[in-house]
Amino acid sequence: MSDKRILLIVGGGIAAYKVLELTRLLRKGGFGVRAILTRAGERFVTPMSLTALTGEPVRTDLFDLGAEAEMGHIELSRWADLVVVAPATADLLGKAAGGLADDLASTALLATDKTVLAAPAMNVRMWSHPSVVRNVRQLEADGWRFVGPDEGEMACGEFGAGRLSEPEAIYDAILDALGQGRPAPPPARLSGPGPLKGRHVLVTAGPTFEPIDPVRGLTNRSSGKQGYAIAGALAELGARVTLVSGPTALETPWGVERIDVETALEMEAACRNALPADAAVMVAAVADWRPEIAADLKVKKTGGGATVRLVENPDILAGLSRKGSTRPRLVVGFAAETHDVARYAAEKLMAKGCDWIVANDVGLGGEGGPQVFGAETNHVTLVTRKGAEAWEPGSKRDIARKLAQRIGEALK
């Protein structure tokens, strides 16, 4: 790697301290490294630290008369084989997506003709904000590559996607971007080829809502988080994903086609219309019953009781599992169980006719009860016709990626 050169742009954020270790790894790997430190970045790491580690003067100012006398920002941007932005803050991403150039970092990004690898880091709410999602999509369309962000606890005390990837993961992503060494771990949003390239996967997620009248209805506590995570993980592996979603406030995963529905009947119709598919992953918590008649006007209280007659909803999982020309090659169902998880899941697998059941243990202490449906972690058992396999508890994203990998292996 002695002939490979990295321009490192360091944004402002508490995670900037990790860039010092990344720089050490790069120099140990034989890379030439030059750094641009933003004004905000100087609040967290010093020019002296980066100079000592890179062995090169650190640039901070677009209007440095000595460096800019020879158009230093142009020379910097063209010198590198790869430009790495870490931490890639919401501000840096927004400037780059909008083509703005009001400081040295944004000007160098606009002037470069090399690949840019960004390692985002920000609060989870900022990362999921529509403007940041839009900017990331634009930058990906412009040819940028991304590594991370990771999911976990942040300096602000919140939990979710937004942590800067570890230096080793960013280093692997650099090797991958340069066509060397190990491939990078899957980022939060990834487009391009993968083991599921060319496959179509149908995913359902969230609750359904069965109206009683225009303002009331029957629903459940499903958050949709696990289904959305699975849809995103499948897209990361290159699948064309159709996500049929009940009512949620979740952001559509990058690269996923989303179809919004409300009732079980609408979900069934949307699933049928999405076929053919190579696989179907039925995560949605579909209401078992619906009111036989939904009132056209709000039902008023009369001081007495009320009777709502319920009729059974169609079994979407069983319907998709039936043999026929449109049956997906692999049908995966989900089940929430409080005890004897493997046994009840195996019974459900046989009753529905599907290929796999992912049983979610909602009876665990600390994660049990109603709160499990909004939790960030799950404890699941994968049940197939060959037996049961209990997985280690993990985040919903980790479980989604593991399941997506298994689906990729099954469809080979």
**Domain region containing 319:** 200-410
User: Quick check: is 194 in a domain?
Assistant: no
Clarify whether residues 169 and 259 are in a common domain.
no
What number of helices (H) and strands (E) belong to the chain?
14, 21
Q: Where are the alpha helices (DSSP H) in 55-113?
A: 65-68, 72-79, 90-98, 104-111
Residue 262 belongs to a domain with what CATH number?
3.40.50.10300
Residue 88 · residue 120 · CB < 8 Å = yes
Both 165 and 243 in one domain: the answer is: no
- Are 157 and 57 part of one and the same domain? yes
- For residues 365 and 265, membership in a common domain is answered with yes
Asked if residue 266 belongs to a domain, the reply is: yes
What gap in Å lies between CA 26 and CA 4, rounded to an integer? 10
- Confirm whether 396 is domain-assigned: yes
What pLDDT sits at residue 365?
Answer: 44
Say whether both 211 and 172 belong to one domain: no
- Asked, for residue 158, whether it belongs to a domain, the answer is yes
Q: What is the pLDDT of residue 374?
A: 54
Catalytic, out of 156, 215, 310, 350? 156
Tokens (6 digits) for 247: 């009512």
Q: Are strands 116-120 and 82-88 parallel, antiparallel or unpaired?
A: parallel
Residue 71 lies in a domain: yes
Cβ atoms of residues 93 and 109 within 8 Å: no
Phi, psi angle pair for 329, to nearest 5°: -60, -35
Question: Are residue 104 and residue 169 in the same domain, yes or no?
Answer: yes
Q: Active-site residue 156, yes or no? A: yes
Sheet containing 32-37: which strands, arranged edge to edge? 32-37, 5-10, 82-88, 116-120, 145-146
pLDDT tens for residues 365-391?
434 343 345 566 788 999 999 999 999
Q: How much is the pTM?
A: 0.56
Cα(62)–Cα(364) distance, integer angstroms: 56
What is the identity of the amino acid at 154? Answer: M
Q: Are residues 94 and 156 in the same domain?
A: yes
Q: For residue 314, say if its preceding peptide bond is cis, omega within 30 degrees of 0.
A: no
Does one domain contain both 217 and 366? yes
| Pair 189, 118: CB distance under 8 Å | no
- The answer as to whether 379 is a domain residue is yes
DSSP string across 116-154: EEEEE---HHHHTSHHHHHHHHHHHHTT-EE---EEEE-
Q: What is the pLDDT of residues 285-306, one digit of tens each?
A: 999 999 999 999 898 888 888 8
Q: What b/e readout covers 167-203, taking b as 16+ CB neighbours within 10 angstroms?
A: bebbbbbbbbbbeeeeebbbbbbbbeebebeebbbbb
Residues 128 and 207 in one domain: no
CA quadruple 362, 366, 369, 372: dihedral sign: negative
Q: What is the CATH number of the domain that holds 25?
A: 3.40.50.1950
Of 230, 233, 323, 237, the closest CA to residue 282 belongs to 230
Tally of domains in the chain: 2
Q: Are 170 and 270 within one domain?
A: no
Closest CA to 164 of 146, 175, 150: 150
- Pick from 123, 144, 177: which residue ends a domain? 177
- Indicate whether 234 and 336 sit together in one domain: yes
Q: Are residues 159 and 255 in the same domain?
A: no
Let me know: does 255 contact 201? Beta carbons within 8 Å: no
Averages of pLDDT over runs of 10 residues in the chain (412 residues) are: 83 91 91 93 91 90 60 73 94 93 90 91 86 89 88 67 87 83 41 74 97 93 92 90 94 89 96 96 96 91 86 96 92 88 91 95 51 66 93 89 94 90
User: What local confidence, expressed as pLDDT, does residue 189 receive?
Assistant: 42
Phi-psi region of 289 (alpha: psi -120 to 50; beta: other; left: phi over 0): beta
CA distances from 58 to 128, 145, 167 (A): 32, 24, 20
Q: Is residue 391 domain-resident? A: yes
Query: Is 182 inside a domain boundary?
Result: no
